[in-house]
Copies of this chain bind each other. A is one copy, B any other.
Amino acid sequence: MGTQMENARKGIVTAEVHEAALYENMDSAALAQLVACGRAAIPANKAHRSLKPRAVGRTLKTKINVNLGTSRDFLDIPGEMKKVHEAIRLGADAIMDLSSWGDTAAFRRELIAHSPAMIGTVPAYDAPVRLKKPLKDITAREWIDTVRVHAMDGVDFQTIHCGITRDRMARIQNRERLTGIVSRGGSLIFAWMAMTGEENPFYEHFDEILDICAEHEVTLSLGDACRPGCIEDSSDAAQIEELILLADLTRRSHQRGVQVIIEGPGHMALDEIEANMKLQQRLCADVPFYVLGPLVTDSAPGYDHITAAIGGTVAAAAGAAFLCYVTPAEHLRLPTLEDMKEGIIASKIAAHAADIAKGIPGAREHDRKMSEARKNLDWETMFSLAIDGEKPRRMREESPPEHEDSCSMCGSMCAVRNINTILAGGEVHVHN
């Protein structure tokens, strides 16, 4: 009963590898090889019984993650579970539970009991809430115990902010970057280190974390505390130094048979994205890269699902395996259900567009079917193949067309309709 990685190295095709390979439409032995060398990860905690296992990796279908969780403003567990079901219905591959208020354990356990999607958490958020203590009074032991509690609850992957160490604090303290640390978990650990004078507990006790992960089959999502928070800070020394440290920790994890995902930017100009993906692949043994964005401009609050979809498509086409969704509420407020929906759809667009560009089997074929339906003015098939079928149906119904088959945009000048008519030997009439 080794870890997924250990089994894969022995050539064993586990049930998780088998199911994940089916979903990818690929040979399960080939997927096991990717898992063996860490180029794919299958986050699948032994205690997560409701899980439908999925693999994350550069050469596989791009996956998307949705952030949820209880908070000061949304403490209602049944209400939050409604969001969970909606996220799953819309196609979330993973859900990160970022709960920061109330009985976080109760919500986490409820979530794991019911979610077929992978579940991720961030122990750094939960520790102060779970322990009900001032941040600076939390002990190193308690940070690590939080990782253990989440592992025992069945969390499939945990974001561990182990890349910001004492000897790397100076770049932030000397204000080398415009926006310092914008990672929530990273900022909590940084503040704790500054207030206590101690080393980063997740770095110092990394071997113990690996033992926990190996025992419960938790995939490590190595967090980027120095994720760039603005266009100005991207690809800077703080970010790249941290990536190098995460590469070292990846090696240690793989030696222990623990699967790894690495988290990445952030805000980043479009022209830097490809280089960043390549650098991560080379430094970090091509382990799955999990990006938040990248947001290609700082200047579009209210529309960061769009800035993230732009960067996310380019990132995923260049090899990012996993996209964390970004909603229109980013930088502004806790997302509403509607914000969540818009964020999921924008992420799914990015993932699918990248899969077309990467040549993932089935992606182009899907669009071909959609365009055949479009050519045939077959609206029902279009709605059924659409990434979101509800909105286009509503929009069309709100503006009934002049001709049943076309739409109100072009009316009798509809190019599709007119070319179909001409090719069928008919005559085109423009109403005027």
Contact = CB atoms under 8 A, between A and B. Distances in A.
Interface of A: 71-73, 100-101, 125, 128-129, 131-136, 172-173, 175, 178-184, 186-188, 190-191, 194-195, 229-232, 267, 269-271, 296-303, 305-307, 309-310, 313-314, 317, 328-335, 345-346, 349-350, 352-354, 356-358, 364, 366-368, 370-372, 374-375, 382, 385-388, 391-392, 395-396, 398-399, 401-402, 407-411, 413-416, 418-423, 427-432
Given A270-B314, A297-B387, 19 more contacts: A131-B432, A173-B423, A175-B423, A179-B374, A184-B410, A191-B418, A231-B367, A269-B353, A270-B357, A299-B386, A301-B382, A302-B386, A303-B346, A310-B314, A331-B392, A332-B392, A332-B407, A334-B408, A334-B409
A333 B302 contact: no
B270 A232 contact: no
B313 A178 contact: no
Nearest to A352: B297
A187 to B, nearest CB: 4
Contacts of A392: 301-302, 331-332
A329 B297 CA distance: 25
A302 B230 contact: no
Nearest to A402: B72
B269 A356 contact: yes
Helix, strand, loop or mixed for chain A's interface?
Answer: helix
A364 B407 contact: no
A391 B303 contact: yes
A65 B409 CA distance: 17
Q: Please give the count of copies of this chain that the complex contains.
A: 2
Contacts of A132: 432
A37 to B, nearest CB: 26
Contacts of A368: 178, 230-232
Contacts of A175: 423
Contact of A270 (B313, B401, B411): B313
Contacts of A346: 303, 306
A311 B176 CA distance: 34
B230 A374 contact: yes
A297 to B, nearest CB: 5
A263 B411 CA distance: 23
Contact of A350 (B310, B349, B370): B310
Contacts of A402: 72
A186 B267 CA distance: 40
Contacts of A357: 269-271, 296
B413 A100 contact: yes
B134 A333 contact: no
A305 B349 CA distance: 11
B411 A229 contact: no
A349 B408 contact: no
A301 B364 CA distance: 16
A299 B353 CA distance: 9
